[in-house]
Amino acid sequence: MLQNTVVVQNQVGLHARPATFFIQKANEFKSSIWIEKEDRRVNAKSLLGILSLGIVGGTTIKIIADGADEEEAVKGLVDLVDSGFAEEAR
């Protein structure tokens, strides 16, 4: 199991469109992936789960992956959040 902490850089956080970009990226990996905010952990491949966390810009989240490609999964998702979803918005 691998995990990394990241601060959500975009203003709207993980709502609506950024959440769908995040889920699309998470689904590229075979590993089980979760997002943790404070002490709540949800499936990172679930729109309802992500939206239930109420992640706004400036929120610190933890991305956790467990599986064969866990390292690539965590790195890919952290990079996506660090970019503020800039590449996906084009």
Which residue is catalytic, options 15, 41, 62, 75? 15
Q: Which two tokens stand for residue 20?
A: 């769908």
Question: What pTM does this model have?
Answer: 0.88
Helix, strand or coil, per DSSP, at residue 90: coil
pLDDT at residue number 11? 77
Does residue 26 carry a catalytic annotation?
no
Question: What local confidence, expressed as pLDDT, does residue 14 receive?
Answer: 82
Taking only the tens place, the pLDDT of each residue in 9-38 is: 877 788 888 899 999 999 999 999 999 999
**CA torsion angle 63 10 38 44 (round to 10):** -40
**What pLDDT digit, counting tens, does each position of 31-86 carry?**
999 999 999 999 999 999 999 999 988 999 999 999 999 999 999 999 999 888 76
Closest C-alpha among 2, 15, 1 to residue 78: 2
In this predicted structure, what is the pLDDT of residue 87? 56
Query: Is residue 65 within 8 Å of residue 3, measured between CB atoms?
Result: yes
Neighbours of 41 (CB within 10 A): 14
- Closest alpha carbon to 36 in 50, 24, 46: 50
What is the set of domains in the chain, with CATH numbers?
1-81 (3.30.1340.10)
